[in-house]
Structure 1
Amino acid sequence: MTTRMRSEIAEQPTALRDTLDSLLPKAGEIGALGEQTRQLLFIARGTSDNAAVYGRYLIEAHAGRLAALAAPSIATTYKRKLDLDGVLAVAISQSGRTEEIVETLAWAKDCGAKTVAVTNGGEQSPLAQAADVALCTVAGEEKAVPATKTYTTQLAALAVLAIGLGADVDVDDLRRVPEAVEKLIAEPGDLEAVVEGLLDKQGVVVSGRGMAFSTALETALKLKEACYLHAMGLSYADLLHGPIAVVDADTPALLVASENSPTLQGTVALAERVVAAGAAAYTIGGGDALSRAGTASLNGPDLPEWVAPMGLIVPGQLLTEALARRLGIDPDAPRGLNKVTQTD
């Protein structure tokens, strides 16, 4: 039987095309807000927070603006008012109904920020209604609890945000993403070997750096949610500062990189170090250089680094769904989780 999660993974090319068609015309509205602001503040939780990590790297590397991740508790628990004049606050929520995120965006506006919402909840969602500009993704209803198509379309919306803010990128690269995702779904690489390698493991370290860091965090989250693995998502720079000690024969590494990234060489070196220590290093992306250094490899997209995360996550999604089924877990409805999470 095909799981809902697997069906929704397959819907991503269409969701991405529809989202880009809908949102690219809004780049001008984003540009107008950009003229009134200097830096960005991302407001999100969970999977949306991982999307925000991509947004932060993208904006800083290609739009030349300082970006940061908000601590919503400053608004909702500590109730501190900050000077956010010159700030563009970008709130990300799949449903657009998470009260903490809506409240924090309203707080940011009250503190002087201009505001943008990224949501699949539609124009009438509370988050979209609270924002100066709403970037509503067109993923359609997502029934499986682990987010797949809502995540990749969030990344697409953030790419449009970067374009509106004057990023030094080629829009045609973004238009190629749906086709690249289609190819990865059809040809994910040595999926069965990676599933077999993780089948009897209790934990895994998932690592990437730069643009791929968001993919490492999101892949780790998916493996936690749907496979109940103790999956640790880390930048490889942080991993080398001590946590690498946990990587051994019982705790493999899953390493992620774009083929044309300045972080690729460091990721290859990390894979070689892991294998030399007697542990397994499974890889996602990074081309031949990374796949040769690892134990078994999943394919990456043929895309420039700035849009590669929209493809890099797909093998991680497929791995999560396949591993969950092999473990006898229903990936559509992991224990203890709901589609909309409310926090105080």
Structure 2
Amino acid sequence: MTPTTTRMHAEIAQQPEALRDTFDALLPQVPEIAALARQTRQVLFIARGSSDNAGVYGSYLVQAHAGRLASLASPSIATTYRKDVDLAGVLAVAISQSGRTEEIVETLRWAAANGARTVGLTNGAGSPLTEVADVALVTRAGNEVAVPATKTYSTQLAALAVLALGLGADVDAGELQLVPDEIERMLGQANGDLEEIVERLAGVGGAVVSGRGLAYSSALELALKLKEACYLHAMGLSYADLLHGPIAVVDDKTPAILLAADSGPTLDGTVELARRVTAAGAAAYGIGGGDRLGQACTLSLEGPRLPEWLAPIGLIVPGQLLTERLARRLGINPDAPRGLGKVTQTT
């Protein structure tokens, strides 16, 4: 029987407290990060799954606001091909919810052996990842029981925002304090067309989830959540990649879910994409983007009132609520999706 209350829903609700605790714990480490920054030029993010989606946020944030080249690692170069790469001048940032995924720990060791300075970002205090890293950023999400990552993902984004400060990002650090309060506000009110979107998604087999720039990370994460917890064939694509051909799959049976901050350089394109989708006879469901995206979409969910650099932390929350509610509507227990465990080991 599908539960009427779930651990996933409870853990979504715990995010404001988890974010406050994480910022309080990590902001004092900005000088440590800055010391590593002075020894490096570019950033390499090492992760899998939800943590890899967090790394996408880190990559956009570091490049757009700290002026450093950033990229995502291919861990199999270290663990399967076992090839050395010159990583002098690189800050390698490994992200793992548990800190115990062997592939990620091994890849961070490999990075250090190849000349990188290292950061381990994890919710697992005392985990192997923290022991390998030069600097450990330990989030304060608390124990997460449900298999789909919720509060561990949002606190990873929070930690990456702190990392960006240490790397010299041209942002206002005081705006970090807006995030927990804004998510608390969002959780405390009914969110737009949630139930109607759930009913419509319950009748389709797939969806395209899209965002651009900083919002792309949480579009990827929402697509992953819909696959994990609802068994929906959800494709996470950037706005730009979607227009290069895959938009052909969007039709009356394959809606688009579009994520955007309320401001920033990618909003105009996301609004135009929504208009293009609906003009083709398909449904577009918006998350965030203010009134402009909401009016261009078939149905919409309110996003966070946050500056663009922090918006992805809040944009995922309506997506998490949508995933949890849709899973229950489909008769699935989102706490324990089939075939998945809390820690995935890869080699």
TM-score of the superposition, structure 2-length normalised?
A: 0.98
Query: Aligned match of 1:135 in 134, 137, 142?
Result: 137
Secondary structure of 1:117's counterpart equals: strand
Q: For 1:47 and 1:189, locate their aligned partners in 2 and report how far apart those are by CA, in whole Å.
A: 26
Residue correspondences, number: 343
Deviation at 1:261, TM superposition (A): 1.7
Q: For 1:254 and 1:283, locate their aligned partners in 2 and report how far apart those are by CA, in whole Å.
A: 6
Residue 284 of structure 2 is aligned to residue 289 of structure 1: no
Q: How do 1:13-24 residues align onto structure 2 when only pairs under 5 Å count?
A: 13-24=16-27
Q: For 1:173 and 1:263, locate their aligned partners in 2 and report how far apart those are by CA, in whole Å.
A: 20
Query: Aligned match of 1:95 in 89, 93, 98?
Result: 98
Q: Report the equivalent of 1:104.
A: 107
Q: For 1:189 and 1:285, locate their aligned partners in 2 and report how far apart those are by CA, in whole Å.
A: 11
Deviation at 1:194, TM superposition (A): 1.0
Q: For 2:158 and 2:218, locate their aligned partners in 1 and report how far apart those are by CA, in whole Å.
A: 14
Q: How do 1:154-233 residues align onto structure 2 when only pairs under 5 Å count?
A: 154-187=156-189, 188-233=191-236
Deviation at 1:186, TM superposition (A): 2.1
Query: Aligned match of 1:4 in 3, 7, 22?
Result: 7
Write the letter of the residue equivalent to 1:216: A
Deviation at 1:112, TM superposition (A): 0.5
Q: Report the equivalent of 1:341.
A: 344
Q: Report the equivalent of 1:145.
A: 147
TM-score of the superposition, structure 1-length normalised?
A: 0.99
Q: Report the equivalent of 1:48.
A: 51
Secondary structure of 1:204's counterpart equals: strand
Query: Aligned match of 1:311 in 309, 314, 325?
Result: 314
Deviation at 1:196, TM superposition (A): 1.2
Q: For 1:163 and 1:299, locate their aligned partners in 2 and report how far apart those are by CA, in whole Å.
A: 28
Q: Report the equivalent of 1:301.
A: 304
Q: For 1:318 and 1:28, locate their aligned partners in 2 and report how far apart those are by CA, in whole Å.
A: 36
Deviation at 1:184, TM superposition (A): 1.6
Deviation at 1:137, TM superposition (A): 0.2
Write the letter of the residue equivalent to 2:171: V
The superposition leaves residues 169-198 of structure 1 with CA deviations (integer Å, 9 ceiling, x where unpaired) of 001111110011111212332211111120
Q: For 1:105 and 1:147, locate their aligned partners in 2 and report how far apart those are by CA, in whole Å.
A: 22
Deviation at 1:2, TM superposition (A): 1.5
The superposition leaves residues 146-172 of structure 1 with CA deviations (integer Å, 9 ceiling, x where unpaired) of 000000000000000000111000011
C-alpha RMSD of matched pairs (Å): 0.5
Q: For 2:174 and 2:291, locate their aligned partners in 1 and report how far apart those are by CA, in whole Å.
A: 25
- Structure 1: 5+ residue runs without aligned partners? none
**Percent of matched pairs sharing the same residue:** 72
Q: Report the equivalent of 1:234.
A: 237
Q: Report the equivalent of 1:261.
A: 264
Q: For 1:296 and 1:192, locate their aligned partners in 2 and report how far apart those are by CA, in whole Å.
A: 10
Q: For 2:250 and 2:263, locate their aligned partners in 1 and report how far apart those are by CA, in whole Å.
A: 26
Write the letter of the residue equivalent to 1:113: A
